[in-house]
Amino acid sequence: MLLPYCTAVYMPFLTVHNAFDFAVHKSQLTASVEALRDQNLLKIPVQGTFQHPKDTMAFGRIFCYVLGAFVFNAMAISAASAPVVDLGYATYSGSFNETTKTTEFLGIRFAAPPIGTLRWQPPHPPATTPGIQRALTQPATCFFAGQGNAATTPFRDNKFRKRDPFFPSEDCLFLNVYLPGQLSQNKRLPVVVWIHGGGYMAGSASGFTGKDIYDGKDLIRASNNGVVVVVIQYRLGLFGFLPGKEVKKNGGLNAGLLDQQFALQWVQKNIHKFKGDPTQVTIWGESAGAGSVLQHVIANGGKTSPPLFRAAITSSSFLPSQYAYGDRIPQILYNDVVSQTNCSSAFDTLACLRKVDVQMLEAVNANIGNSGFFGTFVFVPVVDGELIRERPTEALREKKVNGEIILTVTNTFEGDLFVDKKTPPDVDVANYVAQLFPNFGAREIAAAAAQYKHLGSPVFQVTAIMGESIFICPTYYLLRAYGGRGFKSEFAVPPGGHGNDVAYYYPSGTPNGAPPFNNPAFVKAFSQSFMDFAMALNPNVKSDTSSITPRWGLWAGDNEMLFNRTEGGLPDIRAIKTSRALLERCDFWQSVGALSAQ
């Protein structure tokens, strides 16, 4: 009978959100007990009987007090051991994992909510928040859209389809920090900043499914406790990448990239409070995350100052068409957003959009994103003239890059995921090229198709076109830009498709807690190569000398490290030569960059 009574009467005291709450509730409970003493209500029963008519209730109160004291003592011990960091604008309390011996802070705000008048503006500093904020759960995700799944591109006839919206949160500029050991240890460690993928339309600091896919503890384990990990979020879809002349005039183009840059500046300012060394930052991403890394490599004409990172890693460098902000297709996108939100008649259409209900905006986000050509993404970075000053392929050709060195990896069959499974074997290759690059004329379409006419069946050809033009070739452009200051690898473990490598960086995020090819020697060799690079700028400086990876060579035009498995299920890790035919096809794609807008 007493436990329900305690729960009903005294549990409000036990709802503690921060150190201030704890102090208030403890003083309230203590005052209550002292009041009971003053009223002579705390007589102890003698010989199994109660000597006072109010003793029964008093005994219950004594029991509750003892229980409360026990809980508060436990909470006091926990509060005393919880890691706390003062960032100036807010103080955050994280948690220490006794099993993994790591500390984590989840959901640290690094920018003000980009809502209302701050929509489509560069990120602003967060407001000062009093008290201690609990950083114990994954943050709210940014609004998602989706990849195109139409048979044709809307940018030849400007026809968009509709789908049901998905509703996360517009207030989503948060990051997670993971570090080995206790916060109190003074050693400064290299820092890995992970930028999630998702076509600039989806993804979050935790992944895509609600499961913690991007668990920084996996990278810490792969580094043998040698790095601090930061996982960031950024605005997506039309919220992060709305193009158009109006946004240029009265807003911030590439808001999602600006969010990322703001997070990197946050790292420079604050990571030392989490045992990180701001002079040893490596930025790493997969798919659109790798594309984001590419954008920061060429940002500010390759002269970002002060520097935000010393090294870069790309896993499947994503480089779709990146038009100038006011070109035909970006302006079509802006105008369609205005039309679908009933802002067409407004004098200031961007001001009107800032007042549109977020659910309507997300519905439009979904409609337009879903209407793109299958496997493509419509709201992506643009050349804005400030952060991104010229087409990426042009900037890379001119070797205008930030950072000292790069490590890259591509998957063997990058295009498989982005070609409709219903595509007929005899698909019209020329028409596919025309849909993928709507600014191509007949000459470029024919030339692209000719590059692939001897490469298997038509459906295999279009798969290769998608994979090479958008993911694989941009990786070689990056390597060339660094002029011999880079490493190249290929992930070929079957099926060798886009994203298959992620399970080996973050095995905890897989359904079974392990990657598909769960060979310990392979997993260690593959994952540690990236962490060794982040720590020493050289994957040959091994944190674990038992790694079976042979010696890497700096990229010299045609040398790579292959990560594969044999038919017998053994690791197959060896140096290989890049296909000369592949490099020639990449030369072709670079030559038509002005029309592909890459």
For strands 486-491 and 559-565, give the pairing. parallel
Tell me the residue type at 577: K
**Could you give the dihedral angle defined by the CA atoms of residues 572, 573, 575 and 581, in that order, rounded to the nearest 10 degrees?**
60
Residue 31: other Cβ atoms inside 10 A: 10
287 is catalytic: yes
Contact 83, 177 (CB under 8 A): no
How far apart are alpha carbons 321 and 77 in whole angstroms? 55
Q: Which of 93, 206, 287, 489 is catalytic?
A: 287
What own/partner pairs with CB < 8 Å and gap ≥ 24 does 356-363 have? 358/115, 358/143, 358/170, 359/165, 359/167, 361/143, 361/238, 361/239, 362/143, 362/145, 362/165, 362/166, 362/167, 363/162, 363/165
* CA proximity to 559, closest of 483, 469, 487: 487
Q: What's the Cα-to-Cα distance from 543 to each of 312, 383, 533, 534, rounded to whole Å?
A: 19, 40, 10, 11
Q: How many angstroms separate the CA atoms of 509 and 227, rounded?
A: 19
Residue 77: partners with Cβ closer than 8 Å, 6 or more residues away: none
| C-alpha to C-alpha distance for 301 and 387, rounded to whole angstroms | 8
Residue 240, both tokens? 């992060």
What's the one-letter identity of residue 88?
G
Q: Is 543 helix (H, G, I), strand (E, B) or coil?
A: coil
CA-CA distance, 553 to 402, in Å (whole number)? 22
Active site members = 287
